[in-house]
Structure 1
Amino acid sequence: MNESLKNRHLALIVVDLQNDFLAPAGAYARGNTFSPEALKLAARVVPVAEVVKKNGGLVASSLFTLWPDTSGQPMISPHLLERRPFLRKGDFEPGSWGQANIDEIKPLVDVSVCKVAFSAFFNTQLDWVLRRAGIDTVAVCGILTNGGVASTVRDAHMRDYHTIVLSDGCATFADAAQQAALADMRTVADVMTCADFIASF
């Protein structure tokens, strides 16, 4: 995309860069389930968030959330529990340290929405917030490229947002899955590096 982003009403959507996914004391580290590439994202995403805010844009984040039932146990979808049996009480709990954005991105986030599935749009108020803010373009980053990012990108496209994927601002568990997801998203979005995105301003 050669077009300048300066005149667009832009939001950066940061998908699931949360302590329980990425921090050494988080749930996924405890379960020895993490993407080494995901640990590199903060350094790339922070400058993007800064330039978005400098140009009057909005930074939104999605927070994967495990809501507690009446006994305090997390309500976990069966398919997730099968793949992540280490999840336990307190993980991704609303308002907890684990559910929160990682420290690097947290001060830059204007609004966060809680989500229970892959997409940051599914059963959240994200679309309402973006429309009230006059947003017409969204750039998406975070984890996982072939999960939350891909689902959010397709939902943004279906809602007629001009959609951008930050190719090195998202990560998954294997490079083959990363490249396949990026190739698939090119059918509905512009794909560019964080550096190229910043240069577009």
Structure 2
Amino acid sequence: MTAKSIYLVLDMMNDLVHADGPNGKGPLGAQVQDRQVIQNTARALEKARAAGMLIGYVRVGFSSDYRECPPSSPIFSKARENGLFKLGTWGTEVHSELAPHAHDFDIVKHRVSPFYGTNLEPILRAHAIRHVYLGGVSSNAVVQATVRDAHDRDYECVVLEDCCASFSSEDHDQSMAAVSRFATLSTSRDVDFPNQ
């Protein structure tokens, strides 16, 4: 049977969410821990796999010389300065509690949106995907960008709110209010993934 849905795990990388990572020791890490984002995402992954859904892991990453990194970007220029998001390193690996399986999709991006310059849209089209379930960090960056870009490409989105975090609870709440205009909100407990 042709799959019609995919679950996208957005930027759940060690540099951003691991307790030993650079962001894990700051405000984002505190929100990830307080909101139990790792545990909630693990629950969602288990449910999605049980339903036979396709899984895609979106990761932001750059070559060791940062050739894809935009020097004028307020976000990504800091990555170069601090040696973050370097592909092939521990920092760009998915958190071990959410480890990908061999058949999952790896979507590497060089900007905020996973649709820009990546293999995501060809994957969605090749598998006749119409519904995109998603969660990750941060709520006000990759989550919003994914929802808006998916919406404008006519995909239906479900955001797993408890699988998302930002640098403050206020940022997260504002982001969820913003994406609720373009997507359905659910949680890892309440989501009912369709059997594929």
Tell me the TM-score normalised to structure 2 length: 0.85
Structure-1 residue corresponding to 2:163: 169
How has the CA–CA distance of structure 1 residues 33 and 173 changed in structure 2, closer, same or farther, with 3 Å as cutoff? closer
Structure 1 residue 58: deviation in Å?
A: 0.8
Structure-1 residue corresponding to 2:42: 46
Code of the residue aligned with 1:107 in structure 2: it is: P
How has the CA–CA distance of structure 1 residues 150 and 81 changed in structure 2, closer, same or farther, with 3 Å as cutoff? closer
Structure 1 residue 68: deviation in Å?
A: 2.8
How far apart, in 1, do the equivalents of 2:53 and 2:23 lie? 31
Code of the residue aligned with 2:184 in structure 1: it is: D
Structure 1 residue 199: deviation in Å?
A: 7.7
How has the CA–CA distance of structure 1 residues 134 and 53 changed in structure 2, closer, same or farther, with 3 Å as cutoff? farther
Which moved further from structure 2: 127-136 or 72-81? 72-81
Map 1:1-201 to 2 at 5 A. Answer: 9-29=4-24, 32=26, 34-39=28-33, 40-69=36-65, 75=69, 77-78=71-72, 79-80=74-75, 87-88=82-83, 91-108=84-101, 110-198=104-192
Deviations 1:100-153 (A, max 9, x none): 110011134701111111111111111111221221101110000011110011
Which moved further from structure 2: 14-23 or 35-44? 35-44
Structure 1 residue 9: deviation in Å?
A: 1.8
Code of the residue aligned with 1:97 in structure 2: it is: W
How far apart, in 2, do the equivalents of 1:111 and 1:42 lie? 19
Deviations 1:56-105 (A, max 9, x none): 21110111112233xx78845431256668612xx322122111110011
Equivalent residues of 2:69, 2:76 under 8 A apart = no
**What stretches of structure 2 of length at least 5 have no aligned partner?**
none
How has the CA–CA distance of structure 1 residues 104 and 94 changed in structure 2, closer, same or farther, with 3 Å as cutoff? same
Equivalent residues of 2:18, 2:29 under 8 A apart = no
Equivalent residues of 1:68, 1:75 under 8 A apart = no
How far apart, in 2, do the equivalents of 1:68 and 1:94 lie? 7
Instruction: Give percent identity, aligned residues only.
Output: 25
Local SS of the residue matching 1:17: coil
Equivalent residues of 1:137, 1:163 under 8 A apart = yes
How far apart, in 1, do the equivalents of 2:77 and 2:111 lie? 15
Equivalent residues of 2:23, 2:29 under 8 A apart = no
Local SS of the residue matching 2:162: strand
How has the CA–CA distance of structure 1 residues 81 and 150 changed in structure 2, closer, same or farther, with 3 Å as cutoff? closer
